[in-house]
């Protein structure tokens, strides 16, 4: 296994969950991520905001290697994600190692991506049973606990198409939590929801923010203000500004940030 | 004016009397069994070829493309003759009769089933691929984000959803398959049409006998379309997919039967 080679174990500080160093990514001639560097500490909640097309979702997807990167490094829990280094060059890791790393990282998608052929509880149980090979009885108890936690204990045997968007997204959060991840990634989790359902999903996320390391790509400024430890503003593939929510909203340093905030905050 | 031999016609369309002739009885059984085995072979091959065609490894893609190109681009009749007679003269495989107690599977039946299955694999590959591509890409991503490998995600998440898309055309393929088995007559495999041909060689009543033969195929495909409608209805109920065509549409709409291809 490549993740145990010294080159990959770099971080002395075990409190750093995510470390991105000068990450670059191109889609053809389009340079979507430009030298992105970011550190996220244990139990920190980082909200990434920025205009659409700024690269914020792409960056998030690089953290669990759903997207490849062209240069730079991303470490999660001290292990490089998706690659190992040979003679200073990135070499893509094998599928088994990548899958093992992804199992430690929960992800919640804009369009939920629940498995439509499985019930709510089966959605949650699928990965612990098939990937972790945990005993089904034990997993079921845990899955029921998670469903109760997101307020959907009574929906355990419903199929996704029998649930509202907000309910589906809450099941999707429970599904990701069932793997007991050390990091949760949220990719615009409320963007596909009807307005009246946004609150129920944000409530679950706020609850979670007390005890989980989270990176959230979102347009929900209210959530950012209430739950974020740090806000990262991304524009044109670059991190423009990083600040606490108070500083960020009250006193943005950069002109581009001020322009963006003036466009969305009314 | 042609004198239609009604007694003979009735003798050969009425199953209790027709089945007294082992050529017809065993032929019908062979047609059904060969259809099922060849279709199953086609589905399995089609699955692997479809996955091969979508593989990230160029070698798998090339082999799969070549397979589809060849077997869809050449006549089944030629493929069947090539396999049975062509392979026969090389003595690579002579298709000896296989005996299981009283049951004898002739070399011609083996070769015919194999040819039908391999040919069907090329058509099923495209159907399976279309089914997989109909599944939202977010499903594979979600599965991967939970730590599933490509293979596990395919097996547990993508293929069960693709099956909903695959099963209706698969039913149509099987309908077609039952008719296409009649091509095996060219290698004298003992299926239903071969049976009627042999009876005709003895009695020389092609008009009566071939109408009777056609009615047997019509019965098979009609019974199958009822079974197919049942399967699709139960699929729809369980997973909320659109209902397929009605029985009337299924039987009388001129949808593209491939016939002898």
Candidate from B147, B161, B239 with C-beta closest to A100 = B147
Q: Which residues of B touch A99 (CB under 8 A)?
A: 144, 147-149
Confidence bin at A8 (pLDDT 50/70/90): very low
Tell me if the pTM is above 0.90.
no
Query: Nearest to residue B45, comparing CAs of B7, B74, B16, B72?
Result: B72
Q: Which helix (H) or strand (E) holds B234?
A: helix B206-239
Confidence bin at B241 (pLDDT 50/70/90): very low
B30 has a pLDDT exceeding 80:
yes
Higher pLDDT, B259 or A250: A250
Higher pLDDT, A7 or A196: A196
**Residue A210's pLDDT is what?**
94
**Residue B258's pLDDT is what?**
44
A196 has a pLDDT exceeding 60:
yes
Q: Do A131 and B147 touch (CB under 8 A)?
A: yes
**Residue B170's pLDDT is what?**
97
Q: Which residues of B touch A114 (CB under 8 A)?
A: 142
B84 has a pLDDT exceeding 90:
yes
**Residue B256's pLDDT is what?**
45
Q: Do A116 and B239 touch (CB under 8 A)?
A: yes
The DSSP 8-state label assigned to residue A55 in this structure reads: S
Q: Do B142 and A113 touch (CB under 8 A)?
A: yes
**Residue B107's pLDDT is what?**
93
Q: Do B146 and A179 touch (CB under 8 A)?
A: yes
* B165-214 pLDDT per residue, tens: 999 999 999 999 999 999 999 999 999 999 999 999 999 999 999 999 99
* B123-165 pLDDT per residue, tens: 999 999 999 999 999 999 999 999 999 999 999 999 999 999 9
If you count residue pairs, one on A and one on B, with CB atoms under 8 Å apart, how many are there? 67
Q: Do A176 and B157 touch (CB under 8 A)?
A: no
B259 has a pLDDT exceeding 50:
no
Higher pLDDT, A44 or B261: A44
d(C-alpha A11, C-alpha A22), whole Å: 16
Candidate from A95, A103, A116 with C-beta closest to B146 = A103
**Residue A13's pLDDT is what?**
66
**Residue A265's pLDDT is what?**
73
Using CA coordinates, name the residue in chain B closest to A66: B141
Q: Where are the alpha helices (DSSP H) in chain A?
A: 56-63, 95-102, 120-130, 136-149, 165-177, 195-209, 221-227, 245-250, 255-264
**Residue B101's pLDDT is what?**
87
Query: Average pLDDT, whole number, for chain B?
Result: 92
Contacts within 8 Å (CB) and 24+ apart, B37-41: B37/B113, B37/B117, B38/B113, B38/B114, B38/B116, B38/B117, B38/B120, B38/B177, B38/B181, B39/B117, B39/B120, B39/B170, B39/B173, B39/B174, B39/B177, B40/B117, B41/B113, B41/B114, B41/B116, B41/B117, B41/B118, B41/B120, B41/B121
Q: Which residues of A touch B143 (CB under 8 A)?
A: 115
**Residue B257's pLDDT is what?**
42
A213 has a pLDDT exceeding 70:
yes
B260 has a pLDDT exceeding 50:
no
Percent of chain A surpassing pLDDT 70: 95
Candidate from A103, A113, A126 with C-beta closest to B138 = A113
Would you call B145 an interface residue with chain A, using a CB distance cutoff of 8 Å? Answer: yes
Q: Do A99 and B148 touch (CB under 8 A)?
A: yes
Candidate from B142, B149, B239 with C-beta closest to A99 = B149
Give CA separation, A16 vs A76, A79, A175, in Å: 8, 11, 25
**Residue A266's pLDDT is what?**
64
Q: Which residues of B touch A64 (CB under 8 A)?
A: 145
Query: Nearest to residue A113, comparing CAs of B241, B144, B242, B54?
Result: B144
CB atoms within 10 A of CB A20: 23
Query: Average pLDDT, whole number, for chain A?
Result: 93
Give mean pLDDT, residues A197-221.
Answer: 95
Give mean pLDDT, residues A76-91.
Answer: 93
**Residue B103's pLDDT is what?**
87
**Residue B235's pLDDT is what?**
80
The DSSP 8-state label assigned to residue B75 in this structure reads: -
Confidence bin at B1 (pLDDT 50/70/90): confident
Confidence bin at A7 (pLDDT 50/70/90): very low
């Amino acid at each position: 296994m490549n993740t145990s080679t010294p080159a990959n174990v770099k971080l002395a500080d075990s409190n750093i969950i995510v470390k991105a160093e000068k990450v670059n990514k191109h889609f053809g001639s389009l340079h979507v991520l430009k030298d992105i560097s970011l550190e996220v500490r244990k139990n920190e909640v980082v909200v990434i905001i920025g205009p659409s097309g700024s690269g914020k979702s792409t960056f998030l997807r690089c953290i669990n290697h759903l997207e490849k990167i062209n240069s730079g490094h991303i470490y999660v829990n001290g292990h490089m994600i998706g690659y190992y280094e040979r003679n200073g060059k990135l070499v893509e890791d094998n599928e088994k190692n990548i899958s093992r790393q992804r199992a430690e990282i929960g992800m919640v998608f804009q369009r939920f991506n629940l498995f439509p052929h499985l019930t709510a509880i089966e959605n949650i149980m699928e990965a612990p049973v098939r990937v972790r090979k945990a005993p089904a009885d034990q997993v079921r108890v845990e899955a029921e606990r998670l469903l109760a936690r997101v307020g959907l204990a009574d929906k355990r045997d419903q199929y996704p198409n029998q649930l509202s968007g907000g309910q589906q997204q809450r099941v999707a959060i429970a599904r990701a939590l069932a793997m007991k991840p050390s990091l949760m990634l949220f990719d615009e989790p409320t963007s596909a929801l009807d307005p009246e359902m946004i609150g129920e999903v944000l409530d679950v996320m706020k609850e979670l923010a007390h005890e989980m390391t989270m990176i959230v790509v979102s347009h929900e400024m209210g959530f950012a203000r209430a739950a974020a430890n740090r806000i990262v503003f991304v524009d044109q593939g670059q991190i423009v500004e990083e600040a606490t929510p108070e500083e960020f909203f009250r006193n943005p340093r950069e002109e581009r940030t001020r322009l963006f905030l003036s466009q969305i905050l009314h | 004016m042609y004198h239609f031999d009604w007694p003979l016609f009735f003798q050969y369309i009425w199953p209790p009397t027709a089945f007294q002739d082992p050529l017809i009885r065993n032929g019908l059984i062979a047609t059904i069994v060969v259809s099922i085995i060849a279709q199953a072979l086609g589905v399995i091959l089609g699955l692997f070829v479809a996955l091969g065609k979508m593989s990230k490894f160029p070698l798998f893609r090339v082999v799969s493309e070549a397979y589809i190109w060849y077997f869809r681009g050449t006549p089944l009749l030629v493929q069947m003759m090539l396999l049975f007679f062509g392979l026969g003269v090389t003595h690579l495989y002579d298709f000896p009769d296989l005996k299981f107690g009283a049951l004898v599977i002739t070399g011609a039946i083996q070769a015919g089933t194999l040819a039908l299955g391999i040919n069907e694999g090329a058509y099923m590959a495209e159907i399976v691929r279309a089914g997989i591509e109909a599944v939202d890409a977010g499903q594979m991503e979600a599965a991967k984000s939970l730590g599933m490998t490509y293979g596990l995600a395919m097996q547990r998440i993508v293929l069960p959803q693709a099956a909903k898309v695959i099963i209706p055309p698969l039913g149509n393929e099987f309908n077609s398959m039952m008719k296409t088995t009649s091509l095996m007559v060219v290698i004298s495999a003992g299926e239903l049409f071969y049976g009627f041909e042999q009876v005709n060689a003895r009695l020389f009543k092609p008009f009566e006998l071939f109408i009777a033969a056609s009615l047997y195929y019509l019965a098979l495909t009609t019974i199958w379309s009822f079974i197919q409608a049942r399967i699709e209805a139960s699929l729809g109920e369980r997973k909320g997919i659109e209902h397929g065509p009605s029985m009337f549409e299924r039987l009388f709409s001129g949808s593209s039967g491939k016939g002898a291809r």
